[in-house]
Structure 1
């Protein structure tokens, strides 16, 4: 490729500029994933049914930004456009198919049996544009006995064993505290598949279906605990103080005024902890000589370290240990989002929303050339319908002629 035919250089924080994604999506996994791509410059067009007032998360409180907008909704959908279409109606379907001709990807996060029925799969849309990538996020997949089942994040945590592993021993099973962590992971997993399929489609001219599901992704998050079970019949159990399964001390410890998390994942960090505590005798005890011994005697080790950590407050231990070995304070949500390092990180973004001039949200965690992508609110329901459809009005008329 010579200099004359080189594509124009895109801004480093807009690497997906020129990619158009039609998103038939609602609530969590799909919107979270496509929001990432919208932050990176992709034109993500939410296809929303006006008869149902669009994505139901627009009406999800408690903090509303208008009759069809909320902070909950914006948290999944910043940087997107909105087109109001009923794709089940003849007129809406014709407009949708015209948009497909100009799109790179059609994504949905519907129940597994619906994409084929609604003509959102590659078998159908590939007749309109062979290079189209059709991305599917469902609860359980599209090719099994549960294809027609609805499902949500928390159900996946319950059934896959994730709740079995979460919480303190001898307490009821608990979901992971982070809001909708399975939706987030599934959305990001889907985007990896979507982008891989898009790269191939641009090289070969042939799109495809790419699938993932909440259930499959949750299982995949079990990681080495699943590997141990499948190979050794070892059933991992909850560990006291959120401890590691085989390494110690890797857990929480009480301080004089709170809690601290210490992670001695290596012998080097164990020796650094002993030195920082000023307790050389701990390092000389045969029960704590190596990782295997410390794990075997973790009850004894926990009791002895508890006594040391309780002698001073959290701030004291952070000053003494941070930068020496991996440690962190155990903070409440409000403490975390008002900390000095949160402010320094640049993870706070302010959006100019029509209903709230300085709507605060978390910034995108990616940086390109040291810059985080700029954020803007998702458009109001149907706000982009006329502009987007007018750009394909002529092809629609020619096709219908």
Structure 2
């Protein structure tokens, strides 16, 4: 039994060597058969790499929002077709923020609003800079790493001191690379003293970082806008291990009581959390992956037909050789494996070239842009697996036809 097994394995190994030798010898034919598979694998893995990299950036942005954080606002993150209903909702007010803060002593409760203005320093200016008006404890909930200078003091936050913390892109454009801390900027007619510079975070695909933002104390907001009409958010973060369903129920109860909503009345506020964003983007990933897979499938089919055509030509060229091998005692599975392995080798080489092109593309994108592409091991394995399957399927019928040849007819073929 073992002797027969070893003999069979030896025959398969010899088939592998014969297939490899044929690929090496017939360089032109090998090169012609690689193109379709190379393009197909390049197309599929490029799409999957882009989607995976986008997902990584988006998830990093989502994580920065806080996994145990609620955002109380006018608009739900899911959106939907009832925008007219949401537009009639009131904004979250400062009084509601203060009441909620008092009623949830175990949680961090912050408040923020934003608007766009032109920021100036001397002759330099930045149009449409995002000005974030934030409560004092905003830095305890959101990532606000200070690179230079400091954050607001409690006195500055409480008394509306004319101070500001700049994002790195704002600072670069207004101060041309020099240290902005201790200098002044203007937003409208208001002069602000720069007390801090945020560390560079980079932009997520889905979320704008604070790089192009200016932070000012919430108590300074009245100098710029009317909070009654401005978009506002109340941000609530529970301690580690917080049950988000209990926190949502508690916040919902507080907001309904503050707004005097009857039990039959629908909520006129939205409680948004990170899981909502994850669900939205998970659905988006599935759709993009499906679309990319369908596009790549057509490319792979073209590549598979190319390999099959080449293998039929190969079988026709080696009919006499096949006849001699069978006359000398070669088993059908030896002939079958020889051509099948050759088709798989061709496809895997084509797939490897496609993966190399994707890798070079990621290096170029990472070098010349701020967006980071990552070619994962799972995508490399997926590309090689697809290439192997394409080779096996494309080479199966030509290999089967070669294995079934009659040795006498094959030898006498001219």
TM over 0.5: no
Q: Which protein shows a greater Rg?
A: 2
Return the TM-score normalized by structure 2: 0.20
Structure number with higher helix proportion: 2
Higher relative contact order, structure no. (Cα contacts within 8 Å, ≥ 6 residues apart): 2
